[in-house]
Amino acid sequence: MALTQAPRLTRSTHVTERAFGVEFRDLGRSFPAPKKRGVETSVLGEVTLRIEPGEIVAILGPSGCGKSTLLRIAGGLDRPTSGSVTIDGAAVAEFDPRCAIGFQEPRLLPWRTLEQNVALGLPRGGSRADGREIVAELVSLVGLSNFSGHTPRQISGGMAQRASLARALARNPGVLLLDEPFGALDALTRLKMQDLLLEVHAAAPTTVLLVTHDVDEALQLADRVILLGKGPDDGANRIQQVITVPGARPRDRGSAELAELRAQLLGGLGIERHASGDELP
């Protein structure tokens, strides 16, 4: 099924305009060594980063560099070995309610309709009437009103990812954590989903931390791009580059300025300027 074109979005009345700052201070994460090895695996080391409220920050780096680990720590799904992370000045709690997480796969329940799947993201304690109104608005926000009664198997992958995004927004998050949310989509649908995310961010502002392997996606969506890579000493991954992306969104994908930044990021990843393709090693 083809991805339908979403209507032009308007500002949400039920999604609060709240966006929290996130701060990592000297954050490190190591994992215990396997029984037959005596050395623990150090994944992240001395990561210090301040993300401003409402900012979109993309995290780039080769596979295994700790991008998803950093995201999980921000959401309280994992704990750092050293250092700290705070949201709005307060320490991150386990499964922090100020955050919502979107994954590469939509992870919708196949026996529930899209509307019912979105409703799973609602915070506990609200009235049913308010919940129905919020869900209806969010389903409309991502352009799925005509499909709210469909089950996941009746829609395309791009539409399922829209529903997953609406479910995350139902949590009314101050921080939205996205782990390669468009990585499994075809190229055209991926571009449309990038545009949709920008429209949703304008309609329901929040702080976004986005993990991606796609340099062009990072440059199109983010205010800043963080490049992670191996440090020279203990092998832990650290911040290698922080690039501020100029220009208001949406940006011209073919601009010379973005092309220069793309070359700079690819160079930081050890890929020559003439390399083709967006996937990183």
Asked whether the CA dihedral 72, 75, 80, 82 is positive or negative, the reply is: positive
Residue 246: asked if its preceding bond is cis (omega within 30°), the reply is no
Mean pLDDT by 10 residues, the chain (281 residues): 40 61 96 70 92 96 92 95 96 93 91 96 85 92 93 94 93 94 89 91 91 94 95 82 92 90 90 54 47
Q: Are 77 and 102 in contact (CB under 8 A)?
A: no
Domain boundaries, the chain: 240-274
Residue 15, pLDDT score: 52
Angle at 57 (CA atoms; ends 138, 115), nearest 5 degrees: 15
The pLDDT score that the predictor gives to residue 42 is 87
* Nearest by Cα to 162 from 133, 197, 112: 197
Question: Which residue from 218, 236, 273 is spatially nearest to 227, judged by alpha carbons?
Answer: 218
Q: Quick check: helix, strand or coil at residue 65?
A: coil
Rounded to two decimals, the pTM is 0.87
Output the pLDDT for position 49: 96
Identify residue 126 by its one-letter amino acid code: G
Q: What is the pLDDT of residue 240?
A: 93
Q: What per-residue confidence (pLDDT) applies to 28?
A: 94
